Amino acid sequence: MKGCVAMARYEFATAISCMDGRTQLPLINWAQRKFNVDYLDMITEPGADKLLTEGDNEVVEKIKRKVTLSLDAHGSRLIIIAGHHDCAANPVKENDHRKQIRNSVKLIASWQLPAQVIGVWINEKWQVHLIT
């Protein structure tokens, strides 16, 4: 689903992010402010942006099942894929993360789920930035 992400309103959104606890609250707070969501279903994997683009099919299918459950059970219509600074499981430069995030957005969009898919980068100050 395409459109102006700032204008959307969702009760639930779904985040695919790293398990790194430093990213959780900034991502939740950002999603609540940006989209006025009440809840954010968290699907966490170490280096999630890398796993989606370079992981084996079994891991990707496991993530897809969790995303589908969030959409089906909670009516989530927004999927956020996040990468972050200082990722232990994916210690690459920011530009590499951003490329992985964009590719992850394309992959998730190819699943043709009834949800908008966006990517975000969480920087060294734990600030969330939309990737276009």
Tell me the per-residue pLDDT of 59-103, one tens digit each, with 9 for 90 and over.
999 999 999 999 999 999 999 999 999 999 999 999 999 999 999
Q: Domain boundaries in the chain?
A: 5-131
Using a cut of 0.85, tell me whether the model's pTM lies above it. Answer: yes
Identify the residue whose tokens are 């690459």: 92
**DSSP string over the chain:** --S-GGG---SEEEEEE-S-HHHHHHHHHHHHHHH--SEEEEEE-TTHHHHHHHS-HHHHHHHHHHHHHHHHHH---EEEEEEETT-SSS---HHHHHHHHHHHHHHHHHT--SSEEEEEEE-TT--EEEE-
Place 8 in a pLDDT band, splitting at 50, 70 and 90.
low
Tell me the per-residue pLDDT of 24-54, one tens digit each, with 9 for 90 and over.
999 999 999 999 999 999 999 999 999 999 9
The CATH classification number of 5-131 equals 3.40.1050.10
Whether pLDDT at 1 is above 90: no
Burial class (CB in 10 A: 0-12, 13-18, 19+), 73: exposed
